[in-house]
Amino acid sequence: MQDKESGECQLGISFAKEQLEKGFTCFASVLPLEKIEYYQSTSGVNYKPCAEEREEHEEEEEEEVAAVAIETAAEELEDLGIDHLDVEMVQSLGSDLLGSFDVSDCTQGDSFVILPERLGQGRLNGRNGSNACCVISILTGYFMSQRSNINFVSSVPLFVGCIEVGNTLHEEAANLLVQEAIDLVPVDLHVLEERGSLPKDLNEVITYLFLNARIIIVTCNHQSICLVRPTNNEKVFLFDSHQHVEMGPLIAWSEEDIADIIEYIPFKDKEDQIYLCSIQH
């Protein structure tokens, strides 16, 4: 009799588990992944979302993170002591962070300079990592494009200030698209045109985009950099806030032709897809 009751109990548990699994499967596609993992660990029900569902959940999570970052941008600026962004404030902040900076601390070439490692976006001000490059690139483009002329010595404090403000605004946000990064930054900018390119076509695409803009954000291999043409200067300047091996951010410029700076754009092989976006005040 006891065996019979035990068997019936097991049948009941199996039936309940089957029904739970059916119901869970019906609703799993709209549940957050952390909920799915929790229910699986507590109930023993096994459900593996398909790749499409997982991608959809991940996209939703990234959008939520970006939205939170945009909402808290003003608070983070306030924590940094910033009510609004202007060039004097950003440059002063950069000068403070530079400390006893000397040009001899840099690695220099004919048309480039690499700053010390401590000034890179992932090291500046005691940080340990950063993926704020798109925000930093937009800030750098915004302020550098308003200058009548650029030379790397005078531009370093402003560039470093842009790196610090960009890191502060970005914080824990996921990698952002250009428009999302613009929404995060309290300055007046808008997207003019977007283009895709292979490395072999970069010269042509960059030349075309500079016909109507002074700022181009270039993204490749999850890294964004900024190209800027000052108001009274035909040179094109490149600002890359990342670490470079054991060195820091890179500033490069074209001496005669845009082709001079293409080697500094972070593509790895000739088939890399490169995204370019021109922006303007």
User: What confidence score (pLDDT) does residue 248 get?
Assistant: 92
Average pLDDT of span 87-98: 90
Residue 69: is its pLDDT beyond 50?
A: no
Average pLDDT of span 247-269: 88
Average pLDDT of span 181-196: 91
Q: Does 212 fall in a domain?
A: yes
User: What confidence score (pLDDT) does residue 42 get?
Assistant: 58
Percent of the chain scoring above 90 in pLDDT: 40
Q: Are residues 143 and 37 part of one domain?
A: no
Average pLDDT of span 170-180: 80
Residue 143: is its pLDDT beyond 80?
A: yes
Q: Are residues 120 and 30 part of one domain?
A: no
Q: Are residues 171 and 88 part of one domain?
A: yes
User: What confidence score (pLDDT) does residue 251 get?
Assistant: 95
Q: Are residues 6 and 114 part of one domain?
A: no
Q: Are residues 168 and 107 part of one domain?
A: yes
Q: Does 189 fall in a domain?
A: yes
User: What confidence score (pLDDT) does residue 235 get?
Assistant: 86
Say which residue, 12 or 249, is predicted with more confidence.
Answer: 249
Average pLDDT of span 188-205: 94
Q: Are residues 85 and 37 part of one domain?
A: no
Q: Does 58 fall in a domain?
A: no
Q: How many domains does the chain have?
A: 2
Residue 2: is its pLDDT beyond 90?
A: no
Domain that holds residue 256: 77-280
Q: Does 69 fall in a domain?
A: no
Q: Are residues 119 and 23 part of one domain?
A: no
Q: Are residues 222 and 183 part of one domain?
A: yes
Q: Does 159 fall in a domain?
A: yes
User: What confidence score (pLDDT) does residue 56 get?
Assistant: 65
Q: Are residues 259 and 193 part of one domain?
A: yes
User: What confidence score (pLDDT) does residue 66 get?
Assistant: 46
Q: Does 223 fall in a domain?
A: yes
Q: Are residues 114 and 33 part of one domain?
A: no
pTM of the predicted protein model: 0.71
Q: Does 70 fall in a domain?
A: no
Residue 278: is its pLDDT beyond 60?
A: yes
User: What confidence score (pLDDT) does residue 214 get?
Assistant: 93
Q: Does 255 fall in a domain?
A: yes
Say which residue, 14 or 101, is predicted with more confidence.
Answer: 101
Q: Are residues 129 and 11 part of one domain?
A: no
Q: Are residues 275 and 151 part of one domain?
A: yes
Both tokens of 198, joined, read 């292979």
Mean pLDDT of the chain: 80
- Any idea what the CATH number is for the domain that residue 168 is in? 3.90.70
